[in-house]
Chain A
């Protein structure tokens, strides 16, 4: 086994969900859990928060015990992950730009960016895709359906 068990996906996920469970339980315990009129706002969250902690610890424990037997080390597809991560960052950035440049321009830029850097298309193709998609969306959603979308400083 070349990879540390502490870098295993299940162990990391288990640790994160255990932390979430602790946060839920501690926060909810400060609210009314059980009052004279019955259960309060903390009752249900305390219950599933504790269950989340227990299940997260079971997940981590299972991974530790399974690792002893399988010792498997699957290669992680970093190239695929990088493509998805770039896409997500571009999508989030285009969302952040919407109040300034509006939906249609930010959507066109996103399409151009993905075409160029994620799908590695020539500039002409990516540019055509970006412009035509933005115009197509404008015609369908603004002109035909009259859907209100974030408008930028240019007014659309």
Chain B
């Protein structure tokens, strides 16, 4: 199936009334989640995943992905009106967005954010449609050693980019690998790290871990960092939400910058939308004729980061769908969702599950239009969500989390584990350990161990199989290089000191 035939098939799936409805539900929920500070798309998708078990895989992934990119649209509203990011990827939007709102241009700032998100989001989706098939075709030649090397490379890139400390990122990753080892070994039936608990023989469920370290942790952190906030007013009427011609003209380079930078950064595992928005803002400022005015309420200071964090979605879906490698916490949950529905993300997904693959890609085009329509005229309505008191909101998140964890196997044991992972996530957040590597280690650990053991069975225990095949050798060398990259400045300093 070529790209255009695939897209045509995808639109026939995505335009089915039920899928259109789920796409709208996902985008709507995503926008709300994006607006609410302290509740991210990863936590929401994790909480809602058990409720999608009865849906078809295409409908389920369309809705959950709608939450993922819808949150990026919604995040800007909180940044602009509250000077507090609704999403981590909207941090940069606070800088100029809030200043525009203080000058009485809140409507224009929200309008620019929505337009930039639409333009860059569309660019990311088109690039995804064009690039995914050739990458998948290339990956068809992969065997166990290449898969092991690919996962090692993905994890190496993630820990490098996930936080300030490489050591903490690696420790979090290894703890994730340990958590995924808990249970019965599939090759030998040996029970591993079960502490004599029969409930642990089947292993830890990903949903319990993900809801715990994302949703429960976010609530605990939010309660710990209690802050008083004041929402700036949103002008009513669509006309007041549209930027004027001068503002749009000033943003033309920012739209292109956000689109390209966001997509490229999105493809890299671990980089994520936050880094994309920072880099895009930095480039915008570096090439501006008036860099000194950034931070005072420039429309291009809103357009560049908002564009970048939306173009990132298309990029991030490429390694997820074509290689089965998630680049961050949210895409790791999407990967688990696909596996739970019996869909195997990877090079064969396009041919084995065309409804899911092309249906999802087509739904991104549709969802992007839905979000533009939702986010322009309905922004004043969405802004009211920010007025929900936390003493009502936080218990609701707890309640939905409990339902999500309990739905996995109908055991209170899983809910207690949920509380445990909430505490672990909170402790990690306080100690500045990144959570994303732990989740990725948990998601990829099992497949990585399987690929490694299958490779060594193929070679009868000879580790050289991993470096004797050119593709796996190349990826492993790159992975090791990536891990050593942060040490280069230190070596240079030591050399200078010695010299």
Q: Which residues of A are interface residues toward B (Cβ below 8 A)?
A: 9-10, 13, 17, 20-21, 24, 27-28, 31-32, 34, 37-41, 43-45, 48-49, 51-52, 55-56, 58-59, 62, 77, 80-81, 83-84, 87-88, 91-92, 95-96, 98-99, 103, 107, 110-111, 114-115, 118-119, 121, 125-126, 129, 133, 137, 141, 145, 147-150
Contact = CB atoms under 8 A, between A and B. Distances in A.
30 contacts: A9-B430, A13-B433, A17-B175, A32-B190, A38-B453, A39-B453, A41-B185, A48-B174, A48-B177, A48-B178, A49-B178, A62-B167, A80-B223, A80-B225, A80-B226, A81-B224, A84-B221, A87-B223, A88-B423, A91-B398, A91-B422, A95-B402, A95-B416, A107-B398, A110-B395, A118-B391, A129-B392, A141-B403, A145-B51, A147-B51
Contacts of B175: 17, 20, 52
A51 B399 CA distance: 38
B253 interface: no
Q: List the 5 shortest-distance A-B pairs measured between CB atoms, nearest first.
A: A38-B457, A119-B391, A80-B224, A111-B395, A41-B185
Interface in B414-448: 415-416, 418-419, 422-423, 426, 430-431, 433
Contact of A38 (B396, B415, B460): B460
Contact of B171 (A56, A125, A145): A56
A37 B406 CA distance: 39
A10 B430 CA distance: 10
B9 interface: no
Nearest to B411: A150
Contact of B412 (A39, A129, A150): A150
A7 to B, nearest CB: 13
Nearest to B173: A48
Contacts of A125: 391
Nearest to A129: B392
Contacts of B453: 38-39, 43-44
A95 B167 contact: no
Contacts, number: 158
B457 A92 contact: no
A13 B175 CA distance: 12
A116 B168 CA distance: 37
Nearest to A97: B412
Interface residues of B, number: 57
Q: Which of A24, A32, A39 has the most CB of B within 10 A?
A: A39
Nearest to A76: B430
B431 A77 contact: no
Contacts of A98: 412, 415
Contacts of A103: 402-403, 406
Given A38-B457, A43-B453, A80-B223, 10 more contacts: A32-B188, A37-B457, A59-B168, A87-B223, A87-B394, A96-B416, A111-B392, A114-B394, A119-B389, A129-B392
Q: Main SS of the interface on chain A?
A: helix
B419 A95 contact: yes
Nearest to A21: B174
A91 B165 CA distance: 31
Contact of B456 (A39, A45, A56, A95): A39
Interface string B375-412: 00000000000000111101110110011001100101
Q: Which of A21, A58, A88, A126 has the most CB of B within 10 A?
A: A88
Q: Main SS of the interface on chain B?
A: helix
Contacts of B456: 38-39, 43
B187 interface: yes
Contacts of A88: 220, 419, 422-423, 426
A13 to B, nearest CB: 5
Nearest to A32: B188
A48 B40 CA distance: 30
B431 A13 contact: yes
Nearest to B219: A87
Given A39-B461, A88-B423, A149-B403, A83 B391 contact: no
B102 interface: no
A91 B171 contact: no
Contacts of B407: 147-148
Given A110-B398, A114-B394, A115-B391, A77 B461 contact: no
A10 B41 CA distance: 29
Interface string B482-499: 000000000000000000
A145 B416 CA distance: 24
Contacts of B449: 44
A118 to B, nearest CB: 6
Contacts of B174: 21, 48, 51-52, 55
Contacts of B396: 133
Nearest to B416: A95
A91 B419 contact: yes
A92 B406 contact: no
Given A34-B461, A92-B416, A55 B171 contact: yes
Contacts of A28: 192
Contacts of A32: 188, 190
Nearest to A27: B193
B399 A44 contact: no
B388 to A, nearest CB: 11
